[in-house]
């Protein structure tokens, strides 16, 4: 009697690996540099960083560190965002630490060096609250009593990398931001994360037939200002296409899209995975919409060649102010309607279900600039 063939065993799905945000690596570099400044040798191969949020301590590898001839000390780490499609992967993060002066207002003074962006509104380095808190919390216990230090964070590749982001659209120039509210970089754009997003969507769709897709943290934060029940919100990250289809298959009847115009504009061009590693074409889409709405050719070309869609929006506002025209309203209402139509067709094609889609677009100042008719109908029914 022959033995039966063994049944194949389905492999267990591998969960995507989390990493750490840029502030964590900046902090690790600063800790190692301070240790060098204090005369500790050799340079540690890793340092402990308390993340604050979450409240855990992790070990971060240190690539290099040394005292410098001018009396300061330098240490270097490399970014590891985990299984994210993140352009900062492996980028070096330097911290230079030097002794402060007796008149220094605080024991730890933070500065942005090369590659750290600058906020146009405040003209200050783009080192935000979490990064400041993280550095203060981890460095202050290491300081000798009565001493102060100056910490300069440097991203040697930051200026070049910033050209591939939408930082300029949000008023950050000359580099990257030390941004974030926590230390863990969740792999929101990694393929293995999609199933977790689907599960969250299924749970929401089981309770509500009308839901809200929030594209990014700003969309998630702004949705309640429209009177939207927070429980109806579904964060999509860049997986908009698969989640739209999943929503339809779950029986959802209508979806409100809330997002930054520089992200959602991709849907008008049929791009349903919105990460910049996959596809772009934002200025081209805006220029095409403008051409169909009768914007003069010279201005269409201006939008096409604009460095960002936010810059294109600024140009349209300038035209309206100069000419008394309504180009912003005309073009962005047409854009929102195009997103509605293209998204509805995408859902129909991939699920054979009809779902009503409405779109609400906001600018970098987090002000809504266009709300489509289906979106207004959705909101009026709340």
Contact between 317 and 324 under an 8 Å Cβ cutoff? The reply is: no
Backbone angles phi, psi at 119, to 5 degrees: -80, 120
- Same domain (yes/no): 42, 139: yes
Helix or strand holding residue 195 (H, E): helix 194-205
Domain presence at residue 371: yes
162 pLDDT tier (thresholds 50, 70, 90): confident
- Same domain (yes/no): 130, 209: no
**How far are the Cα atoms of 275, 331, 334, 344, 366 from residue 341, in angstroms, in the given order?**
21, 15, 11, 5, 24
72 pLDDT tier (thresholds 50, 70, 90): very high
Domain presence at residue 275: yes
Asked whether residue 67 carries a pLDDT value surpassing 90, the answer given is yes
Beta bridge mates, 116: 176
Domain final position from 127, 158, 185:
185
The backbone region for 212, taken as left when phi is positive above 0, alpha when psi lies in -120 to 50, beta otherwise, is: beta
Q: What is the DSSP letter of 127?
A: B
- Same domain (yes/no): 156, 205: no
Q: pLDDT per residue over 10-50, tens digit each?
A: 444 455 678 899 999 999 999 999 999 999 989 999 999 99
- Same domain (yes/no): 291, 220: yes
Question: How far apart, in whole angstroms, are the C-alpha atoms of residue 289 and residue 280?
Answer: 16
Range of the domain at 163: 19-185
The residue that leads in pLDDT, 216 or 177, is 177
Burial category of 249 from C-beta neighbours within 10 Å (exposed 0-12, middle 13-18, buried 19 and up): middle
Domain final position from 156, 185, 214:
185
Token digits of residue 209: 């037939």
**How far are the Cα atoms of 252, 266, 287, 339 from residue 357, in angstroms, in the given order?**
11, 15, 23, 8
Give the pLDDT of residue 325: 96
- Same domain (yes/no): 114, 261: no
Number of domains in the chain: 2
**How far are the Cα atoms of 60, 128, 295 from residue 18, in angstroms, in the given order?**
14, 22, 46
Outline where DSSP puts E strands in 100-154.
108-112, 118-119, 124-125, 149-154
- Same domain (yes/no): 256, 168: no
- Same domain (yes/no): 214, 131: no
- Same domain (yes/no): 93, 78: yes
Domain presence at residue 77: yes
- Same domain (yes/no): 222, 345: yes
Give the pLDDT of residue 185: 79
- Same domain (yes/no): 150, 261: no
- Same domain (yes/no): 163, 240: no
Contact between 234 and 196 under an 8 Å Cβ cutoff? The reply is: no
Contact between 233 and 201 under an 8 Å Cβ cutoff? The reply is: no
Question: How far apart, in whole angstroms, are the C-alpha atoms of residue 123 and residue 284?
Answer: 31
- Same domain (yes/no): 180, 200: no
Q: Which of 117-121, 164-168, 219-223, 263-267 has the highest mean pLDDT?
A: 263-267
Domain final position from 185, 204, 227:
185
Contact between 46 and 60 under an 8 Å Cβ cutoff? The reply is: yes
Contact between 119 and 169 under an 8 Å Cβ cutoff? The reply is: no
Nearest to 241 by CA among 85, 345, 332: 345
**How far are the Cα atoms of 74, 323, 342, 375, 380 from residue 286, in angstroms, in the given order?**
45, 20, 15, 20, 28
Q: pLDDT per residue over 224-248, tens digit each?
A: 899 999 999 998 877 788 899 899 9
């Amino acid at each position: 009697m022959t033995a039966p063939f063994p049944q194949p065993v389905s492999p267990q799905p591998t969960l995507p690996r989390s990493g750490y945000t840029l502030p964590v690596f900046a902090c690790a570099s600063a800790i190692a540099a301070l240790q060098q400044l204090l005369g500790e040798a050799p340079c540690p191969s890793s340092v402990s960083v308390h993340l604050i949020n979450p409240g855990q301590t992790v070990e971060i590898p240190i690539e290099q560190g040394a005292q410098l001839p001018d009396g300061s000390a330098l240490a270097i780490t490399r970014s590891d965002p985990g299984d994210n499609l993140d352009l900062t992967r492996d980028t070096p993060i330097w911290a230079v630490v030097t002794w402060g002066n007796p008149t220094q207002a605080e024991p730890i003074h933070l500065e942005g060096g090369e590659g750290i962006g600058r906020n146009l509104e405040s003209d200050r380095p783009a080192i935000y609250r979490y990064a400041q808190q993280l550095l203060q919390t981890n460095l202050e216990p290491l300081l000798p009593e009565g001493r102060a230090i100056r910490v300069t964070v440097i991203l040697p590749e930051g200026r070049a990398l910033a050209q591939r982001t939408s930082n300029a659209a949000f008023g950050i120039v000359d580099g990257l931001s030390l941004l974030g509210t926590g230390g863990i970089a969740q792999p929101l754009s990694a393929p293995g994360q999609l199933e977790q997003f689907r599960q969250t969507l299924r749970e929401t769709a089981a309770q509500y037939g009308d839901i809200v897709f929030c594209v990014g943290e700003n969309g998630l934060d702004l949705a309640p200002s429209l009177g939207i029940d927070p429980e109806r919100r579904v964060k999509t990250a860049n997986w908009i296409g698969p989640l739209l289809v999943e929503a339809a298959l779950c029986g959802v009847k209508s979806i409100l899209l809330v997002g930054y115009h520089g992200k959602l504009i991709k849907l008008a061009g049929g791009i349903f995975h919105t990460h910049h590693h996959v596809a772009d074409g934002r200025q081209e889409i805006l220029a095409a919409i403008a051409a169909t709405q009768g914007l003069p050719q010279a201005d269409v070309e201006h939008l096409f060649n604009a460095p960002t869609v936010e810059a294109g929006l600024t140009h349209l506002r300038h035209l309206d102010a100069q000419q008394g025209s309504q180009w912003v309203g005309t073009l962005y209402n047409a854009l929102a309607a195009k997103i509605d139509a293209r998204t509805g067709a995408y859902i129909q094609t991939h699920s054979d279900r009809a779902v009503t889609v409405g779109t609400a677009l906001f600018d970098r100042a987090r002000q809504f600039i266009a709300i489509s008719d289906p979106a207004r109908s959705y909101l009026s029914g709340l």
